[in-house]
A and B are shown apart, each in its own frame.
Chain A
Amino acid sequence: MSGGLSIAGFSFGRFSAVLIKEFIQMRRDRVTFAMMIGLPIIQLLLFGFAINADPRHLPTLVEMADDGPLTRAILAGMQNSGYFDFQGPVGGIAAGEAVLRRGDANFVIVIPQNFERDVIRGRRPSVLISADASDPSATGGAVAALAGIVQVAINETLQGPLQSLAGTAPPFSVDVHREYNPEGKTSTNIVPGLLAIILSMTMVMITAVAIVKETERGTMEMLIATPVRPLEVMLGKILPYVFVGYVQTTVFLIAAGIVFRVPFEGSPWAFFLGFNLFIVVNLALGFLISTAARSQMQAMQLSFFTILPSILLSGFMFPFAGMPAWAQFLGTGVPATHFLRIVRKVMLKGAGVGDVTGELGALGVILVVISVIAMLRYRQTLD
């Protein structure tokens, strides 16, 4: 009677009146309008350039208790790898630890006394490398690269009569292929993921706020005192933001291609299907939030509550496969998880519609669940 959505009596005229009104209000609200268009660009530029999971030029200090061609070759190799940036010498292990603790350097390298002599005598001395592993992602790449660098240095230095010593290293090399991202650029991975995050943020928040604003300003009372049907209000208020999502995605794709040179390998259709579905899911989520929130502030807070899982559990920040089973289970319920996969598959791996049916299906299920709850909660009255 008063709740729920009914198709009966749907008036296209009333629906388009709500639609026109929303567009006029959107145009007049400069701040929101700027946020819708400006926010994606700023976030893309900021995060695309700032976030780097494989950082280089990490400050490094060295304590050289020995000096010889091998030592210098190792240090030169480390410098040349781009991971290490030698800042200068450090006096002793205790001083090195203090530097690490203060965070002035990420690495302290100690070449022990008589290092060269011990290598030649076959005593296998150790080069001590202390890494600040409090942020594993900062130092992980450098540490992983280290073994190879030292090996190369040894092979190049120990020539002639000493060549047999070089053979003590394992007689194989690790050959890593970086698929889909040959240069190992983080931006190639981050930028497609950012689309999922930007759309989640703006779409959910703007929709939730747009509807709660009517309640807060008292205009909802006038609106529902007219014969308008809930479905007309819901569609009329949601569609303008679908348009906003299109604008955001277009801006995003242009920036991703021009600024970050992220490839677009796959089917535009797969992308189009995925992103339409994702936008609608987010708008439905925003609508659901608006049925629970009593003020614009509450709507914002509830929106943020949905954004954190999108960032942390979707595979945007951390590899999905690396999460524990229960977290993966939660992550599966997050729409951004599936859209993220679609975008990465399509843009980087060249996927077509057939490759993303699983993700599309998952988004469809989430959409149905959210919409049903939203419809049950929406009231045509002020109760």
Chain B
Amino acid sequence: MTAPAVIAITGLTKTFGDKRVVDDFDITVPKGAIYGFLGPNGSGKTTTIRMLCGLLTPDAGQGTCLGFDILREPDKIKEQVGYMTQKFSLYEDLSIRENLDFVARMYRLNRRKQRVDAALNDLGLADRQKQLAGTLSGGWKQRLALAACLLHEPKLLLLDEPTAGVDPKARRDFWDEIRRLSAAGVTVLVSTHYMDEAVQCDFIAYIAYGKRLIDGPSATIPEQVGLVTWRVEGPDLAALEQRLKQEPGVEQVARFGAVLHISGTDKQALDATVARLQAEGTHRWTLQVAGLEEAFIYLMAGARDNFARDTPQGAAA
């Protein structure tokens, strides 16, 4: 990494009661990167983000965020961080304009009126500025929330599942905006459940049970997961899909249009199965390099809900 790290933290730990929600977590995020947090519910994504922006006090850990000490200087970090919460957290009983104005005052921004006007225009909400925020639809609430946390032109954006419950078009627009910000030098850390969002990220950290299991540039993730993938084409894929799921070495069957991607981590077992089926001659088989999609499907499938904790170890470890 050539750019200086915006977030450089080691050993981050947080315990609620007897539950270690974040366990000895290390994270380094270079400037201008889009860094994705993947993991099942309850894996510690939200807790980690809250510790990064000073909402929670870590039990252990050290490091810097935007060059400020995370333990001693949370106030300075807050000045330059835009945090978008998982749940809509602006005031539903204030109007759109009143909300933006309130946030602008919280950051003591100069030229407040112009900035709020500009934000309203960018949003396309200038003519609805007097409408109560609580009456907006999910997609508009999300855009308003993003606009509110960009008002003070933060250097670091922390987005906690920003597109949950938002339609695909709005989600695409949202990511265009994130890409644009990233290109302008804003560092973005985003937690998500969605594969199509994960592929947008430059770096990925996969978390389960508060531990970071996989971390690195997106391109290296399939390799880290260690998947072998075969591509199958031919007639009656549905029947084949059912049959494949019973075969040794097959850990995942994913359908992409008219093809199936069959993946597994045990190359020998998978190749043996494929060789046997290939001999039947009904379908066309090609070995291919596992992509991000397969890797994410594999990761997300292997991770059950972390609230229902029954084993002490991570699922995909």
Contact = CB atoms under 8 A, between A and B. Distances in A.
Chief secondary structure at chain B's binding surface: loop
A88 interface: no
Contact of B98 (A24, A29, A381, A382): A24
Contacts of B56: 381-383
Contact of B108 (A11, A218, A219): A11
Interface stretch (A67-75, A220-228, A277-285): A220-228
Which residue, of A21, A222, A224, has the highest number of chain B Cβ atoms within 10 A? Answer: A222
Contact of A217 (B53, B74, B81, B92): B92
A218 B87 contact: yes
B85 A218 contact: yes
Contacts of B175: none
A11 B107 CA distance: 10
A29 B89 contact: no
Contacts of B85: 218, 221-222, 225
Nearest to B74: A2
A227 B91 contact: no
A177 interface: no
B93 A1 contact: no
B55 A13 contact: no
A218 B74 contact: no
Contacts of A226: 78, 103, 106-107
Nearest to A29: B93
Interface string B48-70: 00100111110000000000000
Given A17-B102, A24-B98, A221 B55 contact: yes
A1 B106 contact: no
A381 B89 contact: no
A228 B54 CA distance: 12
Interface string A1-34: 1100000010101101100110011001100000
Given A17-B106, A381-B54, A28 B93 contact: yes
B209 interface: no
B60 to A, nearest CB: 14
Interface in B71-119: 71-72, 74-75, 78-79, 81, 83, 85, 87-94, 98, 101-103, 105-108
A226 B72 CA distance: 16
Contacts of B88: 218
Contact of B57 (A20, A217, A228, A383): A383
A228 B108 CA distance: 10
A11 B98 CA distance: 19
Nearest to B71: A1
Contact of A224 (B55, B71, B98): B55
Contacts, number: 79
Interface residues of A, number: 28
A34 to B, nearest CB: 16
Contacts of B108: 11, 13-14, 227
Contacts of A11: 108
B16 to A, nearest CB: 9
Nearest to B53: A225
Contacts of A223: 106
A9 B103 CA distance: 18
Contacts of A21: 91, 94, 98, 102
A13 B71 contact: no
B55 A381 contact: yes
A24 B92 CA distance: 12
Contact of A227 (B79, B92, B93, B94): B79
B200 to A, nearest CB: 24
A20 B95 CA distance: 13
A9 B76 CA distance: 11
B89 A218 contact: yes
Contacts of A383: 56-57
A224 B92 CA distance: 17
Contacts of B79: 227
A20 B106 CA distance: 12
Given A1-B74, A381-B54, 10 more contacts: A2-B54, A2-B57, A14-B108, A217-B89, A218-B89, A221-B55, A223-B106, A225-B55, A382-B55, A382-B56
Interface of A: 1-2, 9, 11, 13-14, 16-17, 20-21, 24-25, 28-29, 217-219, 221-228, 381-383
Q: 6 closest Cβ contacts across the A-B interface? A: A17-B105, A222-B89, A226-B106, A225-B83, A218-B89, A218-B87
8 contacts: A1-B72, A9-B75, A17-B101, A21-B94, A28-B93, A218-B85, A219-B89, A226-B106
Interface of B: 50, 53-57, 71-72, 74-75, 78-79, 81, 83, 85, 87-94, 98, 101-103, 105-108, 148
